[in-house]
Amino acid sequence: MNAAKTKRGARGGKPAAKSKSKTAAGKRTGTSRVIARHKPAKPKAAKRVAGRRPASKRAVPKRAAPKRAAPKRAAPKPAAAPTAPAAAKLGIGQPVPDFALPASGGSTWQLRDARARKLVLYFYPRDNTPGCTLEGQQFAALAPRFDEAGTTIVGVSRDSVASHDRFCAQMKFPFLLLSDADGLACALFDVIKEKNMYGRTVMGIERSTFLLDADGVLRHEWRKVKVEGHALAVLEAAQAL
């Protein structure tokens, strides 16, 4: 008989079954019980309070939209400072204030030095232009007769002295041309006007002539002058003065 049978016979029953080993997974194997490994308890979910959501899911209250600022009203413009009243316009019978201007030939002409004789001041727009050239030629042609009438002729424009010198040399004018670059005499006699030139609006000298007596008093004026025949009309007024 072999050893297994001998052992079974000795006990009077079937041979005892060998107990199976415990597994690392903590499961039962066969009839033996395996001790389960300890696992950490899961955190309990927060209890729901009736009518409320969990804190983590609670809706964040919406912020009120910022109020739009009312549009700012434009600040009222400050009232313009009052300007000084314009100088009174020269009128017939009024003495003309003294003034001095640079003249052709490099000299300085002064009104007070022209007294004791009648004076013609003719304002023209520009040197060496057709209308101004013709006007100067007509005064030059009548210069001897003006002299006989005790009258001095002086032309005035805003051109430079150098421009006047060239104009006088070319036209052989027997009288002076004054350079009123700063508009002193033009403002005094109010001859700067708005003009239409080649479709553009510009400010410039309006052709005008003034006759003063030997005391410097304004006796005659001609505005918006038409060149043809003008010098003769001025001569007649000077002879009659």
- The answer for residues whose C-beta is within 8 angstroms of residue 29's C-beta and 6 or more apart is 20, 21, 22, 23
Residue type, 64: A
Residues with a catalytic annotation lie at 132
**Alpha-carbon 38 to chain mean position:** 86
Of 146, 101, 155, nearest in space to 127 by CA: 155
* DSSP H or E stretch at residue 221: strand 218-223
Q: How many CA atoms lie within 13 A of 215 on its CB side?
A: 7
Helix/strand number for the chain, H first, E second: 6, 9
Burial 206-215 (b: 16+ CB within 10 A, else e): bbbbbbbbee
Of 105, 96, 227, nearest in space to 178 by CA: 105
Residue 222 φ then ψ, to 5°: -130, 125
Contact 23, 37 (CB under 8 A): no
Of 240, 237, 226, 241, nearest in space to 138 by CA: 226
Q: What is the gyration radius of the CA atoms in the chain, in angstroms?
A: 59
